[in-house]
Amino acid sequence: MRILLKLVIDCDADAAWRAVHSPRAVAELYGPLLDLAPLEPKGLPTTWAPGDDIPVQLSAIGGVPMGRQLIHMSERFVDEPDDRVRIFRDSGIPLTGPLASLDVWDHQMAVSPAPGDPAKTLWRDRLVIGGPTAPLLWPVLWTVWQWRAARIAALAPSWAYDLELDADPVI
């Protein structure tokens, strides 16, 4: 079963690409509904990197445990006639909690410059789930993904960190 998002967001593709690599930015997408906490003493990395296998604890509002998830990162690049599409993939799997009954978890986020406006990003998000409870969990995950789309659109302008430099800086 699939859940798809496609939206144009208000930041450039480089800023969006940095955001999908940032555990902090990803955690902000789900806030305040869900919290993402590391299970390893060393904590979350500053940035996700291809090959990372990171176990995390998901908690709902009020600290209600929602289960553990293994996040496995990879990325690939597809050259299209207009531009390059960068695809970030989490092919980890829920380990405990309500989502652990899924035996397929494939989440891909693709970013590229928006057609006609390179200052914006075309964001495509695809979640593929499978397993005996996928039909029951799909409506819940679809709802979470709609929340996610709203959060992506709201947070995207904050992802750009290129500051305008004052011509006469004060020292």
Query: How many structural domains does the chain have?
Result: 1
Cβ–Cβ < 8 Å for 123, 151: no
Residue 16 has pLDDT above 70, yes or no: yes
Summarize pLDDT for 104-134 with one digit per residue, the tens: 999 999 999 999 999 999 999 999 999 999 9
Q: Which residues of 31-54 are buried (b: 16+ CB within 10 A; e: fewer)?
A: eeebbbeeeeeeebeeebeeebeb
- Side chain identity, residue 154: A
By the 8 A CB rule, do 93 and 69 touch?
yes
State percent of the chain over pLDDT 90: 73
- Domain at 131, CATH number: 3.30.530.20
Residue 164 maps to a domain? no
Q: Which domain holds residue 112?
A: 2-159
Look at residue 54 and tell me if it is in a domain: yes
| Predicted model pTM | 0.88
